Structure 1
Amino acid sequence: MDSRLKIIAGFKGGESYVKDLYVSLPFRVVSVGQRKTDKKLYQMVMSSSPGILDGDHYYLDVSLEKGSSLQLQSQSYQRLFNMKDKALQELNVTMEDDTSFAYVPHPIVPHEDSNFKSKANIHIGNDSQIIISEIITCGRKHYGEVFKLKRFQNLMEIYHNNRLVVKDNVVIEPELIPISSIGNLEQYTHQGTLIFYSTKDNVDKNGLIEEIVEAAAQHIEEMEVGVSAMEDNGFVVRALGHGGELMYNFFLHVQEILWSLE
């Protein structure tokens, strides 16, 4: 089934708002920022489907007009069901100047024989920032489904002034690449990636990295975390662990640190 979500964040009178919104089944979008006082826009993407099914093709289009800030949230874990063929997701994000976008969704749970590819194309403007993440689990561990998926891929590209500045490609294909081998996940069952990129001039990249490393040190027995700095104002946070909830809450904490930047 082809499913579409399109949201445009506008900016007027000093605050961000939903300028336009279109969804088709199974999507639904609701506002979750009623108690916020920062004038930014908070929206939750919900779904009437139990998960992504064989043949599904999700199209997500997000646009931020100049001055706006949008934080998208997910409703729950995203399940990838058993598939004979595959399912696809395309995320296109267009950010004008002086914008902020964040999307830190719940972990993905690939069931046995699932085959899923996600592609994100992000165009960021000047004086702007993006926070985006993903967490991939081993599957339904309590059902004995530990990395029994066919294939998972998440390809993310971020462009600034039509120049590719960030490219991240996560591929898990257990039949071709032993997932527990050295250089892969080894003994871990969950992998997380959070990317932060900014075109602002006043970002204290090194200070932010130190703060995140200090926060990760509190979970050193449950999770391994590394941060790789980019040449520009950005970095990538990688996490390995055995549980999705701890990793997800840690990413939410990192998002909170970065989201408050002016």
Structure 2
Amino acid sequence: MDSRLSIIAGFKGGESYVKDLYVSLPFRVVSVGQRKNDKKLYQMVMSSSPGILDGDRYHLDITLEKGSSLQLQSQSYQRLFNMKDKALQELNVTMEEETSFAYVPHPIVPHEDSNFKSKAHVHIGKNSQIIISEIITCGRKHYGEVFKLKRFQNLMEIYHNHKLVVKDNVVIQPDMIPISSIGNLEQYTHQGTLIFYSTKENVDKNGLIEEIVEVAAPHHEDMEVGVSAMEDNGFVVRALGHGGELMYNFFLHVQEILWALE
């Protein structure tokens, strides 16, 4: 199934709003920020499908007009079902000047023989910031499906002024890359990546990294977390653990810290 989702966030009268919205099955989008008073836009992406099926093609286009702030949320864990071929997802995000975008979805659960590739292209404008993450689990562990997927790939590219500033490529292919080997996941079953990138000038990158490390400290027995600083205003948070819920809640906490930045 070819499925499409398109959102344009506008900005008027000091508030962000949905300027245009288009979805096709199985997508649905609902507002979830009615009780917030920060004038930002909060939308939840929902699906009538139990997960991503063989042959599915998802196309998501997000546009933020100047001054707008949009936080996308997911409904639940994303399941990747058994596949004979593969499924694809493409996310395109266009951010004009003075915009903020955040997308911290629930973990992905790849079933046995699933084959999935996700590509994200982000074009970020001046004085803007993006928070985006993904968590990949080992699969249905209680069913004995520990990394029995065929292949998983998530390719992320962020551009500013037509220049590639961030590129992250996560590939899990158990038949070619031993998951439990040194330098890969070793004894862990869950891997998470959160990317923060800002074109603002007043970002205290080092202070933010210290705060995130402090937030992660109480969970050191259940989760390993590392933060890699970029040359400019950005960093990548990597997490390894044994459970998706703990990692997801940690990323939500990080998102809360970064989303509050002015």
Could you say which TM-score interval applies, normalised by the shorter chain? over 0.9
Instruction: Report how many aligned residue pairs link the two structures.
Output: 262
Gaps of at least 5 residues in structure 1 are: none
Counterparts of residues 67-216 of structure 1 (less than 5 Å): 67-216=67-216
CA distance in 2, matches of 1:41, 1:122: 19
Q: CA deviation at 1:4?
A: 0.1
> In the alignment, which residue of structure 2 is the partner of 1:217?
217
Q: Where do 4+ consecutive residues of structure 1 move more than 6 Å?
A: none
Q: What does the per-residue CA deviation read over 1:14-46, in whole Å, with 9 as the maximum and x for residues that have no partner?
A: 000000000000000000000000000000000
CA distance in 2, matches of 1:194, 1:7: 22
Q: CA deviation at 1:108?
A: 0.1
Q: CA deviation at 1:139?
A: 0.0
CA distance in 2, matches of 1:180, 1:171: 14
SS at match of 1:154: strand
Q: CA deviation at 1:221?
A: 0.6
For the aligned residue pairs, the C-alpha RMSD in angstroms reads 0.2
CA distance in 1, matches of 2:27, 2:217: 37
| TM-score, normalised by the number of residues in structure 1 | 1.00
Q: CA deviation at 1:53?
A: 0.1
> In the alignment, which residue of structure 2 is the partner of 1:236?
236
CA distance in 2, matches of 1:133, 1:249: 12
Gaps of at least 5 residues in structure 2 are: none
CA distance in 2, matches of 1:230, 1:173: 27
CA distance in 1, matches of 2:205, 2:83: 42
Q: What does the per-residue CA deviation read over 1:28-73, in whole Å, with 9 as the maximum and x for residues that have no partner?
A: 0000000000000000000000000000000000000000000000
CA distance in 2, matches of 1:218, 1:120: 32
CA distance in 2, matches of 1:33, 1:218: 29
CA distance in 1, matches of 2:186, 2:218: 22
Q: CA deviation at 1:179?
A: 0.3
SS at match of 2:219: coil
CA distance in 2, matches of 1:23, 1:125: 25
Q: CA deviation at 1:212?
A: 0.1
Identity %: 91
| TM-score, normalised by the number of residues in structure 2 | 1.00
Q: CA deviation at 1:106?
A: 0.1
CA distance in 2, matches of 1:209, 1:47: 34
Q: CA deviation at 1:75?
A: 0.1
CA distance in 2, matches of 1:188, 1:29: 34
CA distance in 2, matches of 1:8, 1:178: 42
SS at match of 1:8: strand
Q: CA deviation at 1:211?
A: 0.1
Q: What does the per-residue CA deviation read over 1:151-184, in whole Å, with 9 as the maximum and x for residues that have no partner?
A: 0000000000000000000000000000000000
Q: What does the per-residue CA deviation read over 1:110-154, in whole Å, with 9 as the maximum and x for residues that have no partner?
A: 000000000000000000000000000000000000000000000
SS at match of 2:33: coil
CA distance in 2, matches of 1:35, 1:239: 31
Q: CA deviation at 1:92?
A: 0.1
CA distance in 1, matches of 2:12, 2:30: 20
